[in-house]
Amino acid sequence: MGLLDGKIGVVFGVANKRSIAWAIAQAWAREGARLAFTYQGERLKENVAELVSAFGSDTLLMPCDVTRDDQIEAVFQELRQRHGRLHLLLHSVAFAPREALEGRYLDTSREAFRVALDVSAYSLTALARAAAPLMTEGGSILTLSYYGAEKVVPHYNVMGVAKAALEASVRYLAYDLGPQRVRVNAISAGPVNTLAARGISGFTEMLRHYEAKSPLRRNVLPEELGATGLFLASDGAAAITGQVIYVDCGYQIMGM
């Protein structure tokens, strides 16, 4: 008896075994969900194929660059043909051009702003709109945010602006989809050492800062993000929508 028995889900944002999407997908699968996966491009295909082979050889795996309407359409067309319905969607995707995460927010170019907001914020709306017609039995849409959406985190820059737009999108999507029993929530995660975090200068210091300052005096573990992702997807969260849930060892409550 799994919490997600009979549920069908699709996961956007697995790059490798350290991806937050992978931790949440594993928690969903362990509780009985049937999952399909997408990957950003050919560069990641092999990696992701190897990971998802753990879920059986008939696991649906499709390319999807979330800036491409044609690829989004193809993913949901395939899901409709294979399963006919959908209950769960995980959006764990973000990107800003590297140079926008260095230096001043003030210097963000129009193009870097466009790319960051397109990939990291608009994509949730595009995916939710494509998923909604398949979520005929209700559903749960989940995305990943970060504290830089609400407070200044040096160098997070345009990603902070994109996460603010993402969190506002969660609320508007929750309102639009509520009548069809589709819930939309975000997990605001503390820092995790993933591909997207590696190479960010000062990331190791950030991990140490959370360890020193958060009420729980440690960093969040991927499996803890998996556990919260599972809760939000389950009937235990049936009355929770439009929310940003902090999974950050309490860091967000601190004033100093």
State the catalytic residues.
146, 156
Q: Would the CA dihedral through 42, 43, 46, 49 be positive or negative?
A: negative
Beta bridge partners of 88: 9, 140
Footprint of ligand 0WE on 11-70 (CB under 6 A): none
Which uninterrupted H or E stretch holds 11? strand 8-12
Nearer to ligand NAD, 66 or 174 (CB): 66
Site string for ligand 0WE, 154-183 (x = CB under 6 A): -xx--x------------------------
Strand 88-91 and strand 139-145: the pairing is parallel
**What tokens were used for 244?**
């940003």
* Distance of alpha carbon 70 from the chain centroid: 21
* Minimum distance of ligand NAD from residue 95's CB (angstroms): 4
DSSP, collapsed to helix, strand or coil, labels residue 62 as strand
Residue 114 sits in the site that holds ligand 0WE (CB under 6 A): no
Residue 216 sits in the site that holds ligand NAD (CB under 6 A): no
Q: Which does 214 bind (CB under 5 to 8 A by kind): ligand NAD, ligand 0WE, none?
A: none
Euclidean distance between the first and the last CA atom of the chain, given in angstroms as a whole number: 44
Site string for ligand NAD, 109-148 (x = CB under 6 A): ----------x------------------------x-x--
Cβ atoms of residues 172 and 120 within 8 Å: no
Q: Which residue has the tokens 């395939």?
A: 78
Footprint of ligand 0WE on 93-112 (CB under 6 A): 94-96, 98, 101
Residue 25 sits in the site that holds ligand NAD (CB under 6 A): no
Q: Which does 29 bind (CB under 5 to 8 A by kind): ligand 0WE, ligand NAD, none?
A: none
Q: For residues 25 and 96, what is the distance between their CA atoms, to the nearest angstrom?
A: 24
Cβ atoms of residues 194 and 152 within 8 Å: no
The residues of the shown chain that bind ligand NAD, judged by CB under 6 A, are 13-15, 19-21, 40, 44, 64-67, 92-95, 119, 144, 146, 189, 191-192, 194-197
